[in-house]
Amino acid sequence: MKSAPSQYGLGRENRADNPIVGKPKHSRDLAIADDYACGVCAIIPDYPPEKLDVKLILEPADDETRRVLARLDLGPPFEIITAPPVGPRTKPKALNVGLAFARGEFTVVYDAEDVPVPDQLRRALDVFMAADDKLACVQAALTIDNTTDNWLTRMFTADYAGQFDVFLPGLAAMHLPLPLGGSSNHFRTAALRHVGGWDPYNVTEDADLGIRLCRLGYRTDVVASATYEEAPARLVPWLKQRTRWYKGWMQTWLVHMRRPQALVRDLGPAGTLVFQLLFAGNVLSALVHPIFMAGLCYAFATAPTADAVPAGLAPLFIAALLSGYASTILPNAVGLKRRGLLAQAWVLASAPIYWLLLSLAAWRALFQLLHAPQRWEKTEHGLARTSRLTGLSASS
């Protein structure tokens, strides 16, 4: 989720799914609430309504959302709960409030603006029913709906395609730790409670929970189902969102590295390596990227000057940059192809520019980690100009 307050949905009976849904992030998100009742209405027609118990968790001061929900006059299976005015005003704090009221065997988290495909709960349930109790979570793929809004949303779409259609399925197939997405994760409620729910102080609580599940002996899998999300189409909202993500990855790395030997014992050598690549590797590569770029520019600028650059420096910088670009461009291109969006792959040619923006977000996250570790900068939604989902519905 992109904002602090959140909403939930919880199932009543065994083999029921518990949709936990995010609160509208901004007043303009209220149009989303009107259309989808916070996303869950998109799945209710294809799931027994008597097995749904939807908890909408609101912050005490969120009067605007409360008025909209009153206007919608939601009956069963919806229920509105007010989060206590204590502790951080974060999504994971609100998720823990909802978890305390969960009555179903399974629980799923959705963001306010999400639109899951109608049969997602059934597909996730099929995965759970085919596994043992050690399967604690099933992650559905997140995909961007407003892809063609502009360059930024196209890059976001490529990022998600690489992450959810290539990277996470690969990790799941190898039984390695998965950094969960903040939405469309379906949990076995007992396992979620056993690991203590979400860390209310971590601003990417999903990634932390994915590692914690693995450390405590649980598995995470993926399901072939999609949830459509709206990506920020403007630079400032995008920067704030990425800042929070980088800050949360830093927090997650610091928390789990407090006892490195225990981490290796819990995750094993391969899992520990994946953990380091996912969190330390992603953050460090973003932080050092402008330094490498500056070094490369310096090497080229001073190349005519004798003894100005140590021998072999320029090839080293070039190799490092190209390998870094390839590590993201190739999976993203494969993901776009699998998602049926290969026509958008041309945007990957601008990866160097995008990486500079990622570096800016990483350095901003480092500053916030030191001065405002729990700051949760909200992302405004309801601003999309295009919709892939609408186009798919019209063509079906």
> Which range (4-8, 239-243, 244-248, 364-368) has the least confidence?
4-8
pTM: 0.87
The confidence score (pLDDT) of residue 253 equals 98
> Which DSSP state fits 293?
H
Using pLDDT thresholds of 50, 70 and 90, give the confidence band for residue 377.
confident
Whether the pLDDT of residue 2 is over 70: the answer is no
Amino acid 59 reads E
The confidence score (pLDDT) of residue 23 equals 42
Q: Compute the 3-state secondary structure of the chain and give helix, strand, coil in percent, each to the nearest 5.
A: 55, 10, 30
The confidence score (pLDDT) of residue 254 equals 97
> Which DSSP state fits 353?
H
Whether the pLDDT of residue 152 is over 80: the answer is yes
Residue with more model confidence, 172 or 51: 172
Using pLDDT thresholds of 50, 70 and 90, give the confidence band for residue 303.
low
**Side-chain half-sphere of 271: how many Cα atoms within 13 Å?**
28
Whether the pLDDT of residue 14 is over 50: the answer is no
For domain 19-235, which CATH number applies: 3.40.1390.10, 3.40.440.10, 3.90.550.10, 3.40.50.10860? Answer: 3.90.550.10
Using pLDDT thresholds of 50, 70 and 90, give the confidence band for residue 44.
low
Tell me where in the chain the CATH 3.90.550.10 domain(s) lie: 19-235
- Range 113-121 average pLDDT: 88
Residue with more model confidence, 43 or 393: 43
Rounded CA gap, 20 and 16, in Å? Answer: 13
Q: Kindly state the tokens that stand for 335.
A: 């993901």
Rounded CA gap, 17 and 107, in Å? Answer: 5
The confidence score (pLDDT) of residue 55 equals 84
The confidence score (pLDDT) of residue 312 equals 61
> 259: buried, middle or exposed (CB in 10 Å: 19+, 13-18, 0-12)?
exposed
Chain mean pLDDT for the chain:
85
**∠ at Cα 179 (380, 102), nearest 5°?**
75
Whether the pLDDT of residue 3 is over 50: the answer is no
The confidence score (pLDDT) of residue 30 equals 39
The confidence score (pLDDT) of residue 305 equals 55
Rounded CA gap, 294 and 15, in Å? Answer: 55
Residue with more model confidence, 152 or 30: 152
Whether the pLDDT of residue 319 is over 70: the answer is yes
- Range 272-297 average pLDDT: 90
The confidence score (pLDDT) of residue 12 equals 31
The confidence score (pLDDT) of residue 1 equals 30
> 51: buried, middle or exposed (CB in 10 Å: 19+, 13-18, 0-12)?
buried
